[in-house]
A = this chain, B = another copy of it.
Amino acid sequence: MTPVFLLHSLDCAVCIPLPIPLMPFGPEPPQLLRQRFTYKGRKFAFEANRLRLPNKAEGEWECVRHPGGALAVPVTPAGELVLIRQYRFTARGRILEFPAGTLEADETPEATIQREIQEETGYTSDRWQKLGEYFMAPGYSDEIIYAFLAQDVQVLESPPPRDPDEDLEVVLMSPADVEKSIHTGELGDAKSICAYFLARPLL
């Protein structure tokens, strides 16, 4: 692929072979016939690959290659849950979610969420418990969300600054109100719905 210079002048760096690891081997990986295209985004990569699946079907599949995310269901000493109402450009508006963030390089899910909860909500906790993990969009993304329960959360005196592109407000709700908002559709964020129900037996 020689005209790298030309692609740069088109402001289109996408065809440059990137050092993104190929689909890691797992119990039943697809056979990678040809890596057609790779785009390295801010927080994840996007690929289009020609694959042969275990049942021998061949075709081209796109995939978001995502480092994963970590989420917290934070509970105050009074038993309220800490949510955020966050602007999401994909939704063209603000949606209710539990605090969460994308794993950074070499960061464990625990470290990610312990950082994110402080940055997003100004709360902290030292009582953490894993709730579970789940695929968000296994048709086209390898993103896994690691969900945690954070109990007895405390307000930080000097919370760390938020990311400049994060536009959100903290919202406290009782578990009953969270459950009601799931059924009415007011809470329409899948990772948060999953985490709430995984946490419910422990609340």
Complex formed: what's the CA distance from A183 to B134 in Å? 11
A141 within 8 A of B: yes
Q: How many copies of this protein are present in the complex?
A: 2
Give the shortest distance, in Å, between A17 (CB) and chain B (any CB).
Answer: 12
Q: Is the CB of B57 within 8 A of A164?
A: yes
Q: Is the CB of B193 within 8 A of A87?
A: no
Given contacts A14-B12, A15-B12, A165-B57, contact A185 B63 (CB under 8 A): no
| A residues at B contact (CB < 8 Å) | 1, 3, 6, 10-12, 14-15, 23-30, 36-37, 39, 41-44, 46, 48, 51, 53-55, 57, 59-64, 69, 87-95, 97, 102, 132-143, 145, 164-165, 167, 182-183, 185, 188-191, 193-194, 197-198, 201
29 A-B contact pairs sorted by A residue (CB < 8 Å): A3-B10, A14-B14, A14-B15, A25-B92, A27-B92, A28-B87, A30-B92, A39-B62, A41-B48, A41-B62, A46-B62, A53-B87, A63-B89, A88-B135, A91-B142, A95-B138, A132-B188, A133-B185, A134-B190, A134-B193, A135-B188, A135-B189, A135-B190, A138-B189, A183-B198, A190-B191, A190-B194, A193-B193, A193-B197
